[in-house]
Chain A
Amino acid sequence: MNTPFVLQKLGYSAQNEPIIGGALIFLIAGLSIGYLAFVRNEMNAGIVLKVGSVLLLAFAALALFWPQRPWPH
């Protein structure tokens, strides 16, 4: 399995499939922002950064367990 094929598979998901690529993006962004917000004190993170990181992780779970409302509905 070559690299472009794996990336293609990760980056595409059909209508009623879990969105793996999206979950990956949300997970990376959520963990990075969470690290800055909760671990690094020098960032002096506000509520937006903290809630944002949790929200991104929630979106990652949502994308992973997609679809909640299969099409056609």
Chain B
Amino acid sequence: MTLTTEPDTEGLEIEADTTVGGYEATQRKRWPRYLAHAILIIAVFVFVSPFVWAFFTSLKPESEIFATIYQIIPSEPTAENYVQVWNEQPLDRWVMNSLIISTGIVFFTVLLDTLAGYALAKGRFRGRGITLTLVIGTLVIPPQVVLVPLFLEMNWLGWGNTYWAIMILFIANPFGTFMMRQFFMTIPDSLLDAARIDGCNTFEIYTRIMLPMAKPALASLTVFTFIFAWGAFLWPLIIVNDGAMFPLQVGIALLTGPYTSNWGQLLAAAIMAAVPVLTAYLLAQQTFMEGIALSGGGKGQ
């Protein structure tokens, strides 16, 4: 047995091999990313293509819609469907109704959900646990279950055919309460204690500390609720039977007749109905993403 100070080149060769192998491993690691991107591209195509098809078809004259159904891009695009649906239907009133309902739902949802979330996150009162359990418990009740009792209740109150009846089902949704509660849980108690030492009462802590800090979560809750309220269909269809009070979605649905439908106008109205939602999302995109990140993963961090 001889002692030597020579470096063990065999080990280095193995390292070199590993390096070569490491390159291969890097190549292998790229495959999941390619696969994920491929799946995402397919998913984007599946979700976006109906919208693109609807948009281009809305630019075709009524007589050409079914004659050129496989030709996606119209040879002679026209806006006549948009003009006709605007002139022949009370679309302005339906849009206004949808705006009123969505604004009311978003405003009262954000107000009540932040208050409830604040109380459930930072309040110290008897029955907090059971209240939270009840709030979360209502998430599992399908809204269709309460439609008939709520319909009877609204008629008993004399609220049939009113904005209040449409809005009340969606105000203070438990999802928003839970989301805001999760967000407020991430705010350290020491901040609240400092505010209290400075002279803030509970409500002032809510308005001066909690609300400004919750801006990203508020933005995402606003956009979530607006998208949900703008697309509401079943409950307004049931509770409203006057054409003047229809929200846009119900009005569009009733454009289809029993024997024939004006598909060009229908698609034009559908595209117009999608514009506010897209605008809301694009305006609040950044804060929307931040809100999801904060409210979804904040507590565990």
B103 contacts A12, C-beta separation under 8 Å? no
Asked if B90 contacts A11 (CB within 8 A), the reply is no
Q: Is the CB of A22 within 8 A of B107?
A: no
Q: Which residue of B lies closest to A73 (CB)?
A: B87
Chain A nearest Cβ from B88, distance in angstroms: 9
B159 sits at the interface (CB 8 A): yes
- CB of B242, distance to nearest CB on chain A (Å): 8
Q: Looking at the complex, which of B24-32, B207-215, B229-237 is the stretch in contact with chain A?
A: B207-215
* A11–B163 touching, CB < 8 Å: yes
Contact B100 A26 (CB under 8 A): yes
A19 to B284 alpha-carbon distance, docked (Å)? 29
B158 beta carbon closer than 8 Å to chain A: yes
CB-CB < 8 A to B162: which residues of A?
Answer: 7-8, 10-12, 21
**Binary flags per residue of A1-15, CB closer than 8 Å to B gives 1, else 0:** 000110110111111
Partner of B103, one of A29, A40, A43, A69: A29
Docked pose: A68 CA to B111 CA in angstroms: 32
Q: Would B212 and A11 count as touching, CB distance under 8 A?
A: no
Q: How far is the CB of B294 from chain A (nearest CB, A)?
A: 16
Give the distance to chain B from A51, nearest Cβ to Cβ, in Å: 9
What 4 A-B pairs have minimum CB-CB distances, sorted nearest first?
Answer: A11-B162, A22-B100, A15-B244, A29-B107
Binding site for B on A (CB under 8 A): 4-5, 7-8, 10-15, 19, 21-22, 25-26, 28-29, 32, 36, 40, 42-44, 48, 56, 59, 62-63, 66-69, 71, 73
* CB pairs A–B below 8 angstroms (8 shown): A12-B161, A12-B245, A25-B103, A32-B111, A43-B211, A48-B283, A59-B99, A62-B96
B residues at A contact (CB < 8 Å): 87, 90, 92-93, 96-97, 99-100, 103-104, 106-107, 111, 157-159, 161-165, 207-208, 211-212, 215, 242-245, 283-284
